[in-house]
Structure 1
Amino acid sequence: MKIHIVVPITSDSFNDLIAQEARSFLGDEPEIEVSCLPYGPASIESFYDEIVAGPAIVAETMRAASSGADAVFITCFGDPAVPAARELVDIPVVGGFEPAVATALNLGERFSVVTVLENVVPMISGLAARMGIRDRMASIEVIDTPVLELHDHDALLDSLFEASCRAVDRGTDVLVLGCTGMLGVASALQARMEAERVRIPVVDPTGASLGMILAMHSMGLKPSRRTYMPPPDKERTSTG
C-alpha cells in the first residue's frame, strides 16, 4: 500500500517531520510519500487561506492518484479541498477533522477541540455543523499560537495543557488536537492530564486519519459516487 500525504502549504520544511510522525503510527509499512504545494499559502488559518490552497491541493491529489497512491491524507485539520478531491479520484481521501472527530466520538460523550487561533474557530464550528455533531462538542479552545510557531515542544505542551484544563472545566470527555502541525505532543499531553488533572483521551488527527485510511483500504472502500460525483464536463480557467 502507498499513502501520499499532501502538506497544504508552500514550504517543504515540515515534510520530514510529517513523514516521521506518520511512521510513528504506521511503522515500516506502508510506503509513504510526502509533498507540499507549488503555490498557495504559507499556512492555512482562515477561509481565505483554504480557498487559495484548494486548486493546488486538488492537483497534488490527482497527481498522487495517477502515480499509484492508494490513498491521500491532506494533512490539515480544516479538511481543505477534501470534498473536491474526492470528486476527482477513485481512492480514499481524508483530512484531519473527520477522522479525528469520528475517533473522539467513540471514546466519550462530548469532545473539545484545542486549536491554534481564533481565526480557525468558525471553520471548525462549521465542520462540526456539517457532520451534525455540534451538540456533542463541549468547546473549542484556543492556544493563540500560529501554525508556523508550533515548533517549541515544551511551550506548546504547556499551552495545550492549560487549554485542555479549560475544556475539562466545560465538561469535555475527550480532547482533539485541532491542528496537524501539533506534532508529537498527544501522548505527552495525555500523560500530563492523567497525572495532574484527569485521565482523558487525546486524539492526534494524524494518527486518526492514517488509521482510518488503513481501515478503508483493508475494506476496499472508496468515496461514494452518490455524494462525490465527477464534476460536469465544461471549460474552466485557472491562474494556478
Structure 2
Amino acid sequence: MDPAVLREDMVDGLESPPRDVLSDDAVAIAMRDVPRHEFVDDERTAYADREHDVLGTRVLAPSTVARLFEALSVAELEGDGTVLIVGAGVGYTAAVAAELVGARNVHAVDIARPLVFEARENLDGAGYGEVLVDRRDGADGLPEYAPFDRILLEAAVVDPPRTLCEQLSDDGRLVFPRGTGKQRLEAVSADGERERFGAVSFDPLLIDGEQSGTVERNRTAREDREHAHRAARSRRGWEQEWIEWEDAIDG
C-alpha cells in the first residue's frame, strides 16, 4: 500500500477514539509528512501504533510521539525556533521536529555512537539531512548551539538535568518523563513553572559507559569520590602513610 495512505490512516487513528492523543493540527500535518518507514526496518509495521527495537533502542510508537509533541507545544513557535532532541535514537522524532521548525533548527544528541550514525543516515535518506546529530552525554545537552526554545528529553529522570534547563531560552520549554518506577510526562519552563501530563514508560537516562555496546561502564565523578573515600577509610598497616612505624616498634 502507498506509504502516504498508511500515514493518513496512522494519524487519523491518533486523532480519533480510542487513542485520541493528537489534537494539534501542526503536529498532525508533520506526522503525515514524515516517511516513518525510512526509520523502521519493517515496512509492514512501520505505521502501526507499536514500538520497534533497533540497535538496542526503542523506536517510540506513533501515539507516544504524538503525546510528546503535544506537551512540547512546538506549534506555539509558529514555524520558527530551535529544538534539541536528547536521545536521538533512529531520528524519527527529530524528523517530526524538522517538519515543524525546519531541519536547520533541529539538533539531536545521543550517547550511543551507532545510533548517531543510524540517525544521520535515516534523516538524510528521508530528506532531513540538515538536522545536526552529535554523539554526546544527554545530560550535557549541546551548549555550543544553546539556547533552545524547546528541549525534548526522551529518557526518564527524577529531575531534569540542570545543564539542560540552563540551555533553555527565556521562553523555553523542556519536556521529559519524570520518575523511576511509575513515570509521568512533565514540562518545565525556563522560569521553573511545571505542567504534568499522563503516565508514560521510558528507559532511564544513561551516563557515558552505560550505553549499548560498551565493554566496561565508566564511573561518574560522584562515584569516583565515594570510591576514594571508602578506600581511604579501609586502609590498614603500610597503606596508612601517617603511621610512624619506628615509633610504633620502639614503643
TM-score, normalised on structure 1? 0.32
> Which protein has the bigger helix share?
1
Which one scores higher on RCO, CA 8 angstroms, separation ≥ 6? Answer: 1
TM-score, normalised on structure 2? 0.31
Larger radius of gyration: 2
